[in-house]
Amino acid sequence: MQTDPVTNAPRYGERTMLRVRTMLGLFDDLSSAICVIFGEEESADPPAGKGHDCIVGKMRFFDRKEEEAAENLKREAEAAQANESLRRKEEVRESEETRGKEKAAAAEAKQREEAELHRRALEAKREREDREALEAQAARDADRAFMASIKKGPDGVRDQLFMLRDGTASDPKAYSTAIGALHTIFSQIAAHPEEIKFRRIRRDHPKFEEDVGRHSGGREVFVAAGFKLETLDGVPCFFSKEPDIEHDMDGWSEWFDAIKISLEIIEEEMMK
């Protein structure tokens, strides 16, 4: 204990000394606790200043441990954050890969569907073309049979006009309309043999069907007069082809004579 050098009395008062002793006791208790914590044996009589140095050293060591622990926690947090970032990136990659696969699968399915539709369309087209070819062939066969069944020339024209008169015997007005229409057609051809519009008679024309075609002999008379069954511009017609007068004068004369004779027979029939 420090004393005054003159009076040799204690330098500090009793209360101050009490506080000092209390602090020293706490210091000793803290030193003992730290030694226990760090597994060191406590010296029974540590040298002066040794206890304080031990405490300071241990506290610094403890501070370093805390700093290291904090750094470890920080690194662990950063590592966890990095792992979470990688996990999210992997989820995004897997999601994009899944969408890519789904998109590719959808495109492939669409391609297969389009290929199947194309195959069916081609198959339907072939079937339609085959059916149309068969129908066209059947129509040509029927036309040839129809043509072959009719006598050609003036006698054939007279036979078909007789059939026309006989078929309309109960309807004189219908006969008059039919024979009048035939007279108009053949008169126009005779007057203008060069005009193709007069020599092409639409077989499916409503007016022709109503006036002539629906009656027995009404269609046949054209075949007897030398007309052919043709399809011109997609339209079925009775067609009388004019021979080239410059290269086939005899053929043209024969053709034109047949038209005039048919017209004369029609006029004779109209006078009955």
250: CATH: 1.20.58.2190
Average confidence (pLDDT) per 10 residues, the chain, 272 residues: 59 64 64 60 50 63 78 88 91 90 92 94 95 92 93 96 95 96 97 95 94 95 96 93 92 95 95 84
Answer whether residue 67 is part of any domain.
Answer: no
Which pLDDT does position 48 carry in this prediction?
47
Strands of the sheet with 200-202, listed across from one edge: 200-202, 235-239, 228-232
Which pLDDT does position 269 carry in this prediction?
92
3-state secondary structure of 5: coil
Domain extent at residue 231: 151-270
Answer whether residue 52 is part of any domain.
Answer: no
Answer whether residue 255 is part of any domain.
Answer: yes
The model's pTM = 0.57
Look at the chain and report how many structural domains it folds into: 1
Q: Are 261 and 221 in contact (CB under 8 A)?
A: no
Answer whether residue 231 is part of any domain.
Answer: yes
SS3 per residue for 156-198: HHHHHHHHHHHHCCCCHHHHHHHHHHHHHHHHHHHHCCCCHHH
3-state secondary structure of 228: strand
Q: Are 249 and 192 in contact (CB under 8 A)?
A: no
CB neighbourhood size of 224 (10 A): 23
Which pLDDT does position 195 carry in this prediction?
95
Answer whether residue 120 is part of any domain.
Answer: no
| CA 103 to each of CA 100, 107, 114, 117, 236: distance values in angstroms, whole numbers, following the listed order | 5, 6, 16, 21, 54
Which pLDDT does position 174 carry in this prediction?
96
Q: Is 134 exposed, middle or buried (0-12, 13-18, 19+ CB in 10 A)?
A: exposed
Answer whether residue 237 is part of any domain.
Answer: yes
CB neighbourhood size of 79 (10 A): 10
